[in-house]
Chains A and B, each alone.
Chain A
């Protein structure tokens, strides 16, 4: 029975090559489109997330600003200034902070031999490494002795190290920052990052101990500080507690958003995830419509096939086929065509993804991958389309009146 079914199907497909080709191509193209759209969609999402996380995972950035509300008889427009010694107190008083680092930023001349560049210099604390993922590829990051003893040690981003040292080993060498010699203690790994909140991207930065920064450049107040909450889900509560604490201590209304400007990355990440899920659903729907058009093609072709084979249906009914058997035959045939078309589309998409020069495009679109989710979604869509486009012809076939059919 099953063998006879496939023999029939094969015979049908081979008998009319052009029609078979056109029918299959609709489904093939649809599947191809769905898979590529979903693969690129998830690839882009992942790449964006990766670049975004280059700034740090679930961090909270705090920029001291100016008050816009009066507070306890104090006027608006006062500058809020935070000294670095406030930060250890904050961490001691406020639960829910895993790590904390002040940040000082300015543009400085950096020189090694004849190479001289104007790049961003950041004064930071030890936890900065973990908060912002400035992972050393060679050497190490700034450590607690560097901070304690105001050492003139620096940690370089990969690009700036390359530009200054031109392939030479930088660790242990000296660079001049504004004419002051610094020892390179480490170089950061290459890192993807699409933007930065201040100064250049991390790969273009030199990092020095914040204590050294304050002494050398005569700065008293932090430009901003970075908080990493213990639980990203509780970031809102941590921010509220932080505003309350500083409001009382530095004298501003905790509701005054501009006194402390806060950028919550975990919130951003949540929105980002929602956006990309919506984006992928959107792409999936567009792909599904393409596939639906292919399915409509299969349905109309199958209706023609039913009409052509009306005598065959009549004969089968006359020798004892039940209506259900006829219905299943045509339903299964429609689904087989869709399955074949889908498989070809799937293979073509997989081939294209394999041949794509992904490495060269990675920075912009990530690496589009055939992940299991894409596969499952595509199969589900194909099943739905198969059911829709198989049902009408199958029911038409099953409703055949054998007497009328045999007279033809």
Chain B
């Protein structure tokens, strides 16, 4: 499903070069639920961004569903982000002035889906994350757990096979965090591939295996939980 062949990422800041990833090989099978762990600056976020096609590698090739996506243009990558990948962020990244409904609808607006189709899908997702009565509320009127559930619903809007979560429970209390992880478990059981960055071993325990990163390199791969 996801295959990294010798991926490197180098950021240039003026004269200084910063190596975020060096020669990473990883393979993720369909239906995996993987935690990515490692100290700050070990390249977790860069790895996630490249998997999610938000960023492109400096070297190496990245195969997504057997297709090399390393050389694609930004707009071609946009299409992949829209259909193949759903993002869940630590700080939720919802549109503050839009309602829960509008936030969930957003990915479908860039896809030319018809109004009725969009409405049916948004209603279904709101039901799924248990926020049907909150459809008209703005993120500022919701708790962190509720906001993250809206974000998950948005990530699922286009029914992508892959979910990428960057510290999804980082800003939540442990009870809300567990509720969120329950949803991820359900999604995994439903057949989705999930990659999740986390610091917390208790959260990582929900996943099937763990990749450990250190200084931009894979330290350990496939540690079963």
Contact = CB atoms under 8 A, between A and B. Distances in A.
Does B bind A? yes
Given A311-B93, A319-B87, A320-B110, A403 B55 contact: yes
Nearest to B93: A315
B75 interface: yes
Contacts of B111: 320
Contacts of B95: 312, 315
Interface of B: 49, 52, 54-55, 74-75, 78-79, 81-83, 87, 89, 93-95, 97, 102, 105-107, 109-111, 154, 157-158
A319 B83 CA distance: 9
A13 B54 CA distance: 31
26 contacts: A1-B109, A4-B105, A15-B97, A311-B93, A312-B95, A314-B93, A315-B93, A315-B106, A317-B54, A317-B78, A318-B54, A318-B87, A318-B93, A319-B81, A319-B82, A319-B110, A319-B154, A319-B157, A320-B83, A320-B107, A320-B110, A322-B75, A323-B74, A324-B75, A402-B54, A406-B93
Interface in A318-353: 318-325
A279 to B, nearest CB: 49
A316 interface: yes
A315 B106 CA distance: 9
A317 B54 CA distance: 8
Bin the interface of chain A by size: 20 to 34
B54 A321 contact: no
Contacts of B74: 322-323
Contacts of A4: 102, 105, 109
A64 to B, nearest CB: 82
Interface of A: 1, 4, 11, 15, 311-312, 314-325, 402-403, 406
A321 B110 contact: yes
A322 B93 contact: no
A319 B84 CA distance: 10
A11 B97 contact: yes
Contacts of B158: 320
B81 A318 contact: yes
Contacts of B54: 317-318, 402-403
Contacts of B55: 403
A324 B54 CA distance: 16
Nearest to B45: A403
A249 B116 CA distance: 93
Given A320-B81, A402-B54, 20 more contacts: A1-B109, A4-B102, A15-B97, A311-B93, A315-B94, A315-B106, A317-B54, A317-B81, A318-B52, A318-B81, A319-B106, A319-B157, A320-B107, A320-B111, A322-B75, A322-B79, A323-B74, A323-B78, A324-B75, A403-B49
